[in-house]
Chain A
Amino acid sequence: MVVLKSITILTETYNQFIRITEKIEDAVRESGIQNGMVHVISKHTTTGIMVNESLECLESDIEDFLGRLAPEEGHYAHARMLRDYGSTAGNPTGHLKAHITGNHCHLIIQDGEVVKGGAQEVYFCEFDGPAKRTVLIQAAGE
């Protein structure tokens, strides 16, 4: 059985880490699937999905780390008028940060619950906010 759920997130700041673990756990329980996998996938290219420990200090360090890898004042080719959009691209750092975190994670479902380590939380990462974002949660199994 495969059950797909879509959730919408309105982010509020330029870069933002939002815990979505509970939404994933709720989606798995609603799905009725007892054993299998849950896939969490962002539909965007300037956002990420990451699994890490939920600590303010780590969120700060991760944000600083990504900022050093993709500094705002860097020279980027992705800064030009895009014909397909009819607008100017100005979010290269968002794309690069998203490239580093990746756009998805997978967790195991066992006995109807999401299995994860004690320190693990799933984050939706905004790198070009504020924006209206969509995350797909697919539970697959039996």
Chain B
Amino acid sequence: MFIDMHVHPAFYEPINGDSRKEDLRHDALDIHLNGTAPLEHIFNQMSCAGLDRLCLLPQDYRREYGEPLVANEEIKALVDLAPDKFIGFAGVDPLHKDAEEDLEYAFEELGLRGLKLHPSRQHFYPSDERLAKIYDICEAYKKPIVFHSGLSWEPNTFSKYSRPVEFEELAALRPGLKICLAHFGWPWVQETAMLMLKYPNVYADTGILYFDNAWEFYKKVFTQDIPASWIDRSLRHQVMFGSNNPRFEQIRMADALTKLGFRESTLELVKGKNAVEFLGGL
């Protein structure tokens, strides 16, 4: 089982009938010249990468735009189109007045499998007490949270909110809440490794490709910035493959992952078993 835990379906054809919304998504995400993708193309891409499942992440920056960029209902609609391929996450703008109600609806009625938050874009620190009820809901429903962490290419984002060390208090105070630091917290990958070493409820995904090509960048980050042995020996149950597609190259990243020198059993964990554990089952 090979799962990509970090996919943004903002430009999937079935949710892009409205050209105004599509234009808004291009501008708000700063992703251009990519067009929209029919699901058949997505499945071809999955086949080339060897992927079995994609975890689809919404984007709700409602206080900025007055509407979600990709709504929970759209994620649910996509999952319904390919339930054997897609895993759907919920999104809320956590400081919006409707956030708690929306989240309960997303878990209860839409059946979404976890929550995606973006501290850098939504301008909050993970330890902000105003998010306590959001975290309570996730714990009550036993749903994990994927947090953006480290550099974000999106506009109106500030890295200070999502530096890995900012997640320590949350990880320590809520050991029953599984959290994933997306993008491995790059460039602070050693801080991310530190948190994962200390807190078993902290996971990270591999959705980074800011310099060079996929193999060169993965080799730099996962064999030099942190040695491959750190993941292979100590963090092997907490790292999940993620591509951050469409910003980054899913197929080449999936291939690069296999060349890092991990044991085969570690590779199986990173490719899928850790994601299944993080999600609480498929």
Contacts and interface: CB of A to CB of B under 8 A. Distances in A.
Interface in A1-45: 10-14
19 contacts: A10-B38, A10-B41, A10-B44, A11-B44, A13-B48, A14-B48, A76-B213, A79-B212, A79-B216, A86-B31, A87-B31, A88-B247, A90-B214, A90-B252, A129-B44, A129-B48, A130-B45, A131-B41, A132-B41
Nearest to A88: B209
A84 interface: yes
A88 B245 CA distance: 11
A10 B42 CA distance: 10
B30 A130 contact: no
A80 interface: yes
A131 B35 CA distance: 10
Interface residues of B, number: 29
Contacts of A80: 211-212
B183 to A, nearest CB: 13
Contacts of A86: 29-32, 153, 247
B19 interface: no
Contact of B32 (A76, A79, A84): A84
A88 B34 contact: no
Interface in B53-88: none
A87 B246 CA distance: 8
B34 A81 contact: no
Contacts of B248: 87-88
Interface in B81-140: none
A79 B216 CA distance: 9
Interface of B is mostly: loop
Nearest to A13: B48
A132 B246 CA distance: 14
A44 B212 CA distance: 23
B213 A130 contact: no
Nearest to B209: A88
Given A12-B44, A88-B209, A132 B251 contact: no
B194 interface: no
A79 B223 CA distance: 19
Contact of B210 (A14, A81, A84): A81
B252 A130 contact: no
Interface of A: 10-14, 76, 79-81, 84-88, 90, 129-132
Contacts of A90: 209, 213-214, 249, 252
B18 interface: no
A73 B214 CA distance: 11
Given A14-B251, A132-B41, A84 B214 contact: no
B31 A85 contact: yes
Given A79-B213, A132-B35, A132-B38, A87 B247 contact: yes
B1 interface: no
A85 B251 contact: no
Contacts of B34: 85, 87
Interface string B8-30: 00000000000000000000011
Contacts of B246: 87
A123 to B, nearest CB: 19
Contacts of B153: 81, 86
Contact of B44 (A79, A81, A87, A130): A130
B40 interface: yes
Contacts of A132: 35, 37-38, 41
Given A90-B213, A130-B47, A132-B37, 14 more contacts: A11-B44, A12-B47, A12-B48, A13-B48, A14-B48, A79-B216, A80-B211, A81-B210, A87-B31, A87-B249, A88-B209, A88-B213, A90-B214, A132-B41
